[in-house]
Amino acid sequence: MTTDPAKLRRWIYHLILAIAFAIACGRIASVQRIYEPAFHRDLAKAGDRRPVWPSSRPDAMPMFGSNDRARWATIRSLVHDHSYVIGKRNPTTHVASALAAFGTTDPLQAAVLYQTGSLVRTDVSNPSSHSGIIFKPKFKEHGWATIDRVLNPNTLEFLSSKPPLLSTLLAGVYWIFLNVTGLSLIDHPTIVVRVMLVLVNALPFAGYLWLLTRIAERWGMTDWGKIYIVAAGAFATLISPFLVTLNNHTIGAFAVMAAWWSVLRVWDKMSLPAPARRGVEGEGVGGAPSPRAHLPEGEGGRVAIVTAGFFSAFAASMEMPALSFAAACFVLLLWWRPGRTLLLFVPAALIPAAAFFGTNYLAMGQLRPAQSEFGSAWYEYEGSHWKPPPTGEKKFGIDWAKHHESRVDYALHVLVGHHGLFSLTPIWLLSLAGMILGSLCLRSLWRQALFKEATDFPWFVQPLGLALTVVVVGFYLVKSDNYGGYTNGLRWLMWLTPIWLTCLLPVADWLGQSRFGRWVGGLFLGISVFSVSYQLWSPWRHPWIFDLMVELGWAGYQ
């Protein structure tokens, strides 16, 4: 048994990483959609709006629902049909008088209504009215159907409502896999999906955790605090449950981690030498305080600026609010290394930006992403899940939560309620405390920033984390109304995880210095692990607080 605390920590890191990676691979290797009686209609219960239990045995499929199916359908279409189109509407156009149909005596108005397609009617229940991957009869109920689609009003072709860059990149991976193995999404979807999920989720997750151990070792002050944030990153964040499904959120978080580590490396390279670390080592490990470990010459320079530019922009292409993070990285690096930033960061960032808009143009015939068309004919076509109900009527389900609660109720549940950021994962309360307390030391932060004074923790981490948290959470409090849909948490905040974990590190160090602090940290970690492990076979389930409220008599959004 080694008596070297650093070597012992490395062994613990490797153990945590191996366990987390093995769990992710094991879950991916058995991934398939599960049909649960609790989520289907009770025929003896009047007014039950839940889905009807399948009349025959469903086919085994490794796709969970509309969100990931929309991407898999695009990947399949790109490789096999060389097109972004996943479906086609075959309308029956009624050439009846627009004047009679709309009760208007204005011929110009009637012409406009006709021109915009308002007189086009399709019997959406008729199978012959649609064609394409998402409408094939043998796949419709159990395989490829999705509500996450938009309809091009000019061509009447269905496209995924998800930005096409990720699907385009993964279509390249699938093309290689198909040509090497001969296994296709059409005939062998289970094998193909599982292998690709290991490649795009599990393996990057291992790299993500390895970078987290580097951050812990570099800026942690105690053994307990360092191990705490690595364990939290491995088992206590929403990244873990989403590893079994194709989504942009995990990949966005991985990209943020790569860019974040690059920015930290640049800062570490340019900062002045600091005194030996303060604080004591973790209880039971021992060892004297270690001196600040500097990066070797050449590390944290040009390569780090390039990777910061590329991955911060790539993160923004996966999560559009992450554009705020990319802008922050640019400003910091421009301040520290103006010449290299303009020469290296900007061109690297333009690559994913060009790919994002280029693939969007190829798919939609325009640079604007599909999300910018919400509320238009692209989303609100006949038969669309997203079409608002007629005046005086309501739609049900969490996607229409705005019909059943006030904005105050919504904000409450986003923060501390059934989808609460802090109620489900209370470790983020500790991160928030670190961000606030660290940001209050304005004079010290200003001197560190202006005069590059030595410090044991990067001066910009906590103020930047607080600013991004306020901006992004505030944005979703104003602009969102459905908690991210039918899912186990606020998935569109996942990309902030690497920054929040870094802000958690000083607080974990402080908690680790007392028995009471370790109990509090352990309790918060345990609740967070419980929340992300609830119904671990699929992230497309309501959180445990939501289900508990329903069990206690809350009507929900039904």
| Amino acid letter, residue 133 | I
Amino acid type, 69: R
Q: Say yes or no to pLDDT of 287 above 70.
A: no
Given a contact cutoff of 8 angstroms between Cβ atoms, the answer to whether 185 and 143 are in contact is no
Give the mean pLDDT of 482-493.
Answer: 94
Q: Which residue has the higher pLDDT, 300 or 287?
A: 300
Residue 207 DSSP one-character state: H
- Please determine, for residue 97, whether its predicted confidence score (pLDDT) is greater than 70: no
Assign 445 a pLDDT band (cuts: 50, 70, 90). low
**Cα–Cα dist 265/219, whole Å:** 12
Work out the pLDDT band at 50, boundaries 50, 70, 90.
Answer: confident
pLDDT given for residue 509 in this prediction? 94
Residue extents of the structural domains in the chain? 5-30+187-282+294-551
3-state secondary structure 298-362: CCCCHHHHHHHHHHHHHHHHHCHHHHHHHHHHHHHHHHHCHHHHHHHHHHHHHHHHHHHHHHHHH
Helical H segments across 30-105, by residue range: 66-80, 98-102
Q: List, in sequence order, every residue forming a beta bridge with 92; answer none if it has no partner.
A: 121
In this prediction, residue 288 has a pLDDT band, given cuts at 50, 70 and 90, of: very low
Q: Answer for the pair 464, 499: CB distance below 8 angstroms, yes or no.
A: yes
Write out the two tokens for 417. Answer: 């309620």
Collapsed DSSP state (helix, strand, coil) of residue 88: strand
- Structure confidence at residue 90 (pLDDT): 82
Residue 313 has a CB neighbour count (10 Å cut-off) of: 28
Amino acid at residue number 255? A
In this structure, are residues 238 and 488 in contact, taking their beta carbons and an 8 Å threshold? Answer: yes
Q: What is the mean pLDDT of residues 360-388?
A: 91
394 residue type, one letter: K
Q: Is the pLDDT of residue 92 over 80?
A: no
For the entire predicted model, the pTM comes to 0.88
b/e per residue 173-207 (b: at least 16 CB within 10 A): ebeebbeeeebbbeeebbebbbbbbbebbbebbbe
List, for residues 76-87, the tens digit of each pLDDT value: 999 999 999 999
Winning range, highest mean pLDDT, from 88-92, 100-104, 232-236: 232-236
Torsional class of 117: left (φ above 0), alpha (ψ -120 to 50), beta (otherwise): left
Does residue 75 contact residue 185 with C-beta atoms inside 8 Å? Answer: yes
Cα separation, 335 vs 304, whole angstroms: 15
Task: Give the tokens for residue 473.
Answer: 């959470």
Model confidence pLDDT, tens digit, residues 100-146: 444 444 443 334 333 334 444 555 556 668 888 888 655 444 578 89
Token look-up 């860019």 returns 259
Q: CB 328: neighbour CB atoms within 10 A?
A: 18
Q: Percent of the chain, pLDDT > 90?
A: 65
Angle, CA 536 vertex, CA 191 and CA 472 arms, to 5°: 105
Q: What is residue 108's predicted lDDT score, i.e. its pLDDT?
A: 38
pLDDT at residue 5 in the model: 84
Work out the average pLDDT over 204-233. Answer: 96
Instruction: Report phi then psi at 130, rounded to 5.
Output: -135, 155
Q: C-alpha dihedral over 304, 427, 434, 418, to 10 degrees?
A: 110
Asked whether the beta carbons of 21 and 239 are under 8 A apart, the reply is no
Please provide the average confidence, as pLDDT, over all residues in the chain.
86
218 Cβ contact list (under 8 Å, min separation 6): 264, 268, 293
pLDDT of 306 strictly over 50: yes
Residue 281 has pLDDT above 50, yes or no: no
